[in-house]
Amino acid sequence: MFDKHMVPRYMLSANMSTDTGFEYVFPAIRGVQAGREYYVSMCPMRLLPKLFLFNEDELVPELRAQRVLNKNRIPEIARYVVSNATNYVFSAITASINSEVRFEPLTGADRKLGSLHIPMSAQFIINDGQHRRAAIEVALRENPDLADESIAVVFFLDIGLERCQQMFADLNRYAIRPARSLGVLYDHRDAAARLAKLVVWKSPVFRDVVEMERSNLSARSRKLFTLSAIYTATNALVQGFNDNSDKSIDELAGVAALFWDEAARSFPEWQQVRDRKLTAGDVRRDFIHSHGIALQAIGRIGALLLREHPAGWKTPLKQLRSIDWSRSNSSLWEGRAMIGGRVSKAGHNVVLTTNAVKSAMRIPLTPAEQSVEDAFLRRAS
């Protein structure tokens, strides 16, 4: 067990070494992976942009040690930090050092705790975390109070470009983005995520038939919908009455749950799944209405009805039952909700599916929807 007196005071300093000139001194923990030493330390946010430079944009891919910086990602990450200054979370940055270093262990600390001495002439190459580093630089300009906060850094010793490239490949080899449903389930910051979960819990239509973790349903799954589909469809729905509204999340969820309960009256198969008279797999196989693209189209139309008919939206919604939602109805759904017989989630397919439902309900298309419709009809002719 570490004695608290053995742990170095949190600091990053620049010392003068008689052997190497000026150097950085990091309090660090030494470890070993694959027979090589590496070091874990903390870096103040204010020093991150100065230590870790990114200047490989002009190099061809085979001469770079990392991917080209995607500048479109940086503002979003920076906003996340600034907007959540009291509860943001960042994982460690991984970097390579292309220089000899010296580790001085503390006495009595099992020689794992100590100070890592790095020449100021050394270069630091980020193997993982270059977008976090760039976003922190932007966030510091908006909120200078973040300057004294810190981020963990894992230092590896650089033994050449090939090794750095291999480290990048290895660090990203098994990185899998979590399913969108799971992200919605665990997100307590996003109001739309909270709303979707409340709708599932409030609505008898969705209770017990929504897959809360996965965003893709197997043929044998007993679930009829995914949480990510409910999230997208409900988010489209509340656009009809959420703007300039002082409704709370609970109130919005109540209205949304009422809407979906009413819409479900047009789809008896949903109830038959809950009654175990049909399997969820059979319904998804045979009908479009249980897929996310149909839910999103219905949500978009619901937004219009709630906005234009706040007291009488239930009556036009009943026209949903006049539509043949069978996947075998390829004359209606092929090219719109389906491509080659498979349901498509592409944005223009959502618009084309919405157009088909609107036309069946005798609801005029917007100019943007009409433009997509005209292009579709020209291709089909």
Both tokens of 92, joined, read: 């460690």
Instruction: Label the pairing between strands 124-128 and 13-17.
Output: unpaired
In the predicted structure, residue 237 carries a pLDDT above the cut 90: yes
The band of 363, judged by pLDDT with boundaries at 50, 70 and 90, is very high
pLDDT attached to residue 22 = 84
Which residues make beta-bridge pairs with 102?
117
In the predicted structure, residue 171 carries a pLDDT above the cut 80: no
In the predicted structure, residue 60 carries a pLDDT above the cut 50: no
What string of H, E and C letters represents the secondary structure of 255-323? HHHHHHHHHHCCCHHHHHHHCCCCCHHHHHHHECCCCHHHHHHHHHHHHHHHHHCCCCCHHHHHHHHHC
Instruction: Label the pairing between strands 36-44 and 21-33.
Output: antiparallel
How confident is the model over 243-268, as a mean pLDDT? 87
Q: Domain locations in the chain?
A: 13-173, 180-380
Q: What is the pLDDT of residues 126-152, one digit of tens each?
A: 888 888 999 999 999 999 999 999 999
pLDDT attached to residue 248 = 86
CA distance 337 to 341: 9
What string of H, E and C letters represents the secondary structure of the chain? CCCCCCCCCCCCEEEEECCCEEEEEEEEEEEEECCEEEEEEEEEHHHHHHHCCCCCCCCCHHHCCCCCCCCCCHHHHHHHHHHCCCCCCCCCEEEEECCCCEEEECCCCCCCEEEEEEECCCCEEEEECHHHHHHHHHHHHHCHHHHHCEEEEEEEECCCHHHHHHHHHHHHHCCCCCCHHHHHHHCCCCHHHHHHHHHHHHCCCCCCCEECCCCCCCCCCCCCEEHHHHHHHHHHHHCCCCCCCCCCHHHHHHHHHHHHHHHHCCCHHHHHHHCCCCCHHHHHHHECCCCHHHHHHHHHHHHHHHHHCCCCCHHHHHHHHHCCCECCCHHHHECCCEECCEECCCHHHHHHHHHHHHHHCCCCCCHHHHHHHHHHHHHHC
Alpha-carbon distance values, 197 to 123, 192, 212, 264 (Å):
47, 9, 9, 18
CA nearest neighbour of 237 among 213, 216, 269, 262:
262
Task: Round the average pLDDT of the chain to a whole number and report it.
Answer: 86
Can you tell me which residue has the tokens 């749950």? 257
Both tokens of 316, joined, read: 């036009």
CB 79 within 8 A of CB 141: no
The band of 106, judged by pLDDT with boundaries at 50, 70 and 90, is confident
In the predicted structure, residue 18 carries a pLDDT above the cut 70: no
Q: What is the pLDDT of residues 309-350, one digit of tens each?
A: 988 999 999 999 999 999 999 999 999 999 999 999 899 999
pLDDT attached to residue 125 = 81
CA distance 319 to 357: 9
pLDDT attached to residue 166 = 76
Alpha-carbon distance values, 7 to 30, 334, 355 (Å):
13, 66, 65
pLDDT attached to residue 21 = 67
Task: Give the count of beta carbons closer than 10 Å to the beta carbon of residue 163.
Answer: 16
pLDDT attached to residue 61 = 52
In the predicted structure, residue 46 carries a pLDDT above the cut 80: yes
CA nearest neighbour of 215 among 199, 232, 200:
232
Q: What is the pLDDT of residues 19-34, one digit of tens each?
A: 546 888 999 999 998 8
CA distance 81 to 75: 10
How confident is the model over 241-266, as a mean pLDDT? 84
In the predicted structure, residue 4 carries a pLDDT above the cut 50: no
What percentage of the chain exceeds 70 in pLDDT?
86
Both tokens of 93, joined, read: 């940055």
Can you tell me which residue has the tokens 């085979």? 62
pLDDT attached to residue 245 = 59
How confident is the model over 189-214, as a mean pLDDT? 92
Instruction: Check: pTM over 0.85? Answer yes or no.
Output: no
CA distance 259 to 25: 61
Q: What is the pLDDT of residues 277-299, one digit of tens each?
A: 999 999 999 999 999 999 999 99
Q: Rg for the chain (alpha carbons), in Å?
A: 28
> CA-CA-CA-CA torsion for 80, 72, 191, 311, nearest 10 degrees?
150
In the predicted structure, residue 172 carries a pLDDT above the cut 60: yes
